[in-house]
Amino acid sequence: MLQFDVLIIGSGLAGQSLALRLAESHSVALITKRHLEDGASAWAQGGIAAVVDPMDSIEAHMRDTHVAGAGLCDDNATRFVVEHGREAVQWLADQGVPFTPAEEGPLHMHLTREGGHSHRRIVHVADATGAAVQRTLTEKVRSHPRIHVFEHHVAVDLITGHKLGQAERGCLGAYILDTTTSQVETFAARTTVLATGGAGKVYLCTTNPDTATGDGIAMAWRAGCRVANMEFIQFHPTCLYHPQAKSFLISEAVRGEGGVLRLPDGTRFMPGHDPRAELAPRDIVARAIDYEMKKHGLDCVYLDITHRSPEFIHEHFPNIQATCLELGIDITREPIPVMPAAHFTCGGVLTDLRARTDLRGLHAIGETACTGLHGANRLASNSLLECVVFGEAAAQDIEAHPRPMPEALPGWDESQVTDADEQVVIAHNWDELRRFMWDYVGIVRTNKRLQRAEHRIALLEREIDEFYANFRVSNDLIELRNLVVSAELIVQSALNRRESRGLHYSLDYPDTLPDGRPTILENPRWPNGVHRWSEPG
């Protein structure tokens, strides 16, 4: 049994920022499925939204967030994040993140604008902000003596006192599979933090890395935590459409800097869908593209930035330009073929403003969590901000409420299982799940499609549970098990919402109700309140 003060599962911006904040006074285990650099944070191109310009305001940023969130953003969470925006950016700059500079202005950082924002407030590192942030923090994490990095490790499940029949019913750690040895190890911790990202891989087309399989959401759900707003899956409107490009994102900032969307014949179509045209929030742009593709029988539409100078394009979008050039697309001369793809999980494990879940000793941060900030649709560049702000909130809460180290925990029991006889079962189920989720639970939904998905998920769950009970765990089996749980939560949440709001658009319920309420699911296998925190802490 390995023991640490804090066990952090996930190594994106949320997990790494928390590890760095705690490591001076805590022993920290940082679990990552592949390498430290492989999380979704490194794929973020746009930047970090923060009020740093005197012409901008907290109220304006909050208003933009609420408008994008379609009336479902939690006001306290929104204010909490926005008010800590400048502080979060300054912390990242202090760590050495090389934000694109400006000769004058606040913090001497260049500010860009993205869809849904009323002001220029996006600090960035050219068009590869996430990669720069991740690279900077990774260097510090690797060199810190109190942060123990476990690469090629994947969490199997949380260990709870309730499962072990103990009086302390909170989270005690997790079982972790070392994928290099195929051995499951027991990690005990005073506090466990889920920072595993979203569930984009539940869909056939996604901008997410292969590791985004809803692990933290599924583990928390199985442990008795509530989840919220899982029906709100953000589809990024502009994923590069090319047979040799896997999940390459064309940044929101391309439209923010004047890029326009066109049909193959050159017709611009966004003004006919929304008065904000290309600067409308992502759900509106994605739905418009989906509509035009289906109406005209298209595989993609085109994003045109050719009216800007080659020098401007190279300065602002060097990574996008270079990648497209490798594929034979010169974005200074020709438009970029794009299509929508699943991008961000707005819902997740329900947390409070201290990043605490329903389970004592368990926090959740980043895309895994549902803090209430994003509501029914995430405003561009609020996600990296949320990671840093709630990483700090979790650190403060963990330091303020120390917990005892768990006593001896039982090891992983493999006495009743054997090696899997046919891996093809996992591969087939994985493919089937992602395809019917794309077809039935995509940008536009109907009750009939959702019910078909619900039926298929129930069948898959039975097959996967039987497989899990009889065979040794593997990375693919763990991820498939978590994806099916995530899919079930998305479908159940969508069926519960009898309106169209934000990212959830139903042909059966096209109107938006006057009173927006979050969708909160409770696992029926757990009695209400069995794990709930008592105040304070």
The closest alpha carbon to 61, from 79, 76, 35, belongs to: 79
Give whole-number Cα distances, 92 to 60, 97, 108, 396, in Å: 23, 6, 14, 17
Phi, psi of 283 (to 5 degrees): -65, -40
Dist. CA 341–CA 367, nearest whole Å:
17
Phi, psi of 297 (to 5 degrees): 65, 45
- Region at 381 (left for phi over 0; alpha for psi -120 to 50; beta for the rest): left
The closest alpha carbon to 258, from 309, 301, 184, 297, belongs to: 309
Q: Angle CA(523)–CA(529)–CA(533) in degrees, nearest 5?
A: 120
Both tokens of 221, joined, read 């759900």
For tokens 């950016």, the residue is 89
Dist. CA 142–CA 135, nearest whole Å:
11
Give whole-number Cα distances, 281 to 15, 125, 235, 273, in Å: 28, 22, 11, 12
Q: 13 and 133 in contact (C-beta within 8 Å)?
A: yes
Dist. CA 398–CA 412, nearest whole Å:
27
Both tokens of 112, joined, read 């860009």
Please tell me the chain's helix, strand, coil percentages from 3-state DSSP, rounded to the nearest 5.
Answer: 40, 20, 45
Q: How many residues does the chain have?
A: 537
Dist. CA 172–CA 230, nearest whole Å:
26
What are the catalytic residues?
Answer: 282
Phi, psi of 219 (to 5 degrees): -65, -45
Phi, psi of 112 (to 5 degrees): -115, 175
Q: 289 and 301 in contact (C-beta within 8 Å)?
A: yes
What are the DSSP calls for 425-491, one per residue? HHHHHHHHHHHHHHHHSSSEE-HHHHHHHHHHHHHHHHHHHHHHHHB---HHHHHHHHHHHHHHHHH
Dist. CA 408–CA 387, nearest whole Å:
33
Give whole-number Cα distances, 58 to 62, 65, 219, 353, in Å: 6, 11, 35, 18
